[in-house]
Amino acid sequence: MNDFEKHLREVGEVGFVERVNRAIVHVSGLPGAHPYEVVLMESGETGQVLSLGEELMEILVFSNALPKVGTRVVRTGRSLAIPVGGELLGRTITPLGLPIFQKRQPVDVPPLGIATRRQISRPLETGVTLVDFVIPLAMGQRELVIGDRKIGKTLFAFHVIRTQAKKGVVCIYAAIGKRKQDIKKAESVFREGGVRDRTVVVASSSEDAAGIIYLTPYTAMALAEHFRDEGQDVLVVLDDMTAHAKYYREIALLAKRFPGRGSYPGDIFFAHSRLLERAGNFAYKNKEVSITCLPIAETVQGDLAGYIQTNLMSMTDGHIFFDSDLFDKGRRPAVNTLLSVTRVGFQVQTPLLRSIGREVTKSLAQLERMQTFVHFGAEMTEGVRRALSSGEKLQHFFEQFLGGDESVPPLNIKIVLLALILSGAWSRVAFGDMDRYIGKMISSYERDKSFRQEVDDLINASKSFQDLVAGIQQKGLLSRAG
């Protein structure tokens, strides 16, 4: 791809740089060029055909060093492709990939049709207890993670990656126009979490050319498709798509395209939707494989009605909203369960988990009402005091700071712990003793095989929250709580 003279002999067409406008170069000639074709400049730069005009075509250049006016340009006859392969696991690559692997994957391809897709049917455990019970996700789902800056969105994504990578899922983290220290932090988190060999970091820094930053999420998705085609489940995190939209807006304005709402180009919806539609649940031989996508979007002062944010909401299967007000109150994670949505996660849950999720949602909503009631100075009755105590214990159970590689308790013991809190079995346990009781239950589950089997059998036999509570009382599991 870097042999200018070779391609000149093969194609027989040559163009010339007429104008240079930062990341956009206007070129004459090359009558056979097509959109998204890769071109080479004799000075060594690589670019991609962005659009075709009557006299000049727009070339998006993939380097900060720009060609001079009069530089010769040659077609390659190829679309942009990146090197792929299992050798990438544990590495950090640029959006153009590393040129040491033989197999290459097209970066920008149409999403697969409906004939290759299957109904989403498998749950995806994030390791974040509040999300797993109230806003459950599924493998193959596209769930938007949205909220203001610096309130835990990226830490949440890191935690999901650690949890899924330990289950054997290939995880790809796309750092879009990030600071280099943020890219190094991501590498460090994955390495310390013991999952570096199951992750690929596709990184572009804020110092890179706009064209390189624009390519970052497409490269990440192309890698995901490669592993999907090898029969592996993949998780893709795109951090973040609002930054990607800003760089695409810069490219469009430099190309003198007519600006639309917020000065974004009219095809910004198409640019993002053709990317996110490539995720999903697919048929592979005699099984199913999935690409789960978690695009991250940034809001300003909690405004969910922004142009890019609402665009992304319309093309995803729900959103997890990180609320700055909850963050300021010390809630970790600062997820607003009332404003968060999951459109396909509930369909993969067992009847027991759906029943528990409803109880949790009802209890959290009741806690909000009680806290508002007390805030206005109303006198607390014994019933109100008990409801507040139970709700605060429930909130404490969901508390996760996600700052380090904290261990994730098995799902079944978390179900039992939730049942103990929601049923009022721990109503006499002091708030300060909660951690000790929870730790004792988890320790018993992990070390005592007979207790673990007893809990697992109870979970499998229960069809609803009421069945579970009755089973806990019948089997005497309360004694395990002290």
Active site residues: 343
Closest CA to 30 of 71, 82, 80, 81: 71
Category of 231 on φ-ψ map: left (φ > 0), alpha (ψ -120 to 50) or beta: left
Contact (Cβ atoms closer than 8 angstroms) between residue 29 and residue 15: yes
188 within 8 A of 341, measured Cβ to Cβ: no
374 three-state secondary structure: helix
- 3-state SS, residue 197: helix
User: How far apart are alpha carbons 422 and 355 in whole angstroms?
Assistant: 12
Q: How far apart are CA 326 and CA 342, in angstroms?
A: 20
Distance CA 299, CA 311 (A): 13
Write the DSSP string, 421-481. HHTTTTTTS-GGGHHHHHHHHHHHHHH-HHHHHHHHHHHHH--SHHHHHHHHHHHTGGGGG
Two structure tokens written together for 211: 């064209």
The candidate with the shortest Cα–Cα distance to 396, out of 369, 374, 372, 363, is 363
Task: Tell me whether residue 27 is exposed, middle or buried, using C-beta atoms within 10 angstroms of its C-beta: 0 to 12, 13 to 18, 19 or more.
Answer: buried
d(CA 233, CA 255): 38
Tokens of residue 24, six digits: 């956009």
Question: 333 preceded by cis ω (within 30°)?
Answer: yes
Residue 374: phi, psi to the nearest 5?
A: -70, -35
The whole-angstrom separation of Cα 176 and Cα 215 is 9
Total number of residues shown for the chain: 482
One-letter identity of residue 386: R
Partners of 288 in the beta sheet? 283
> Helices 210-229 and 268-276: crossing angle, nearest 10°?
30
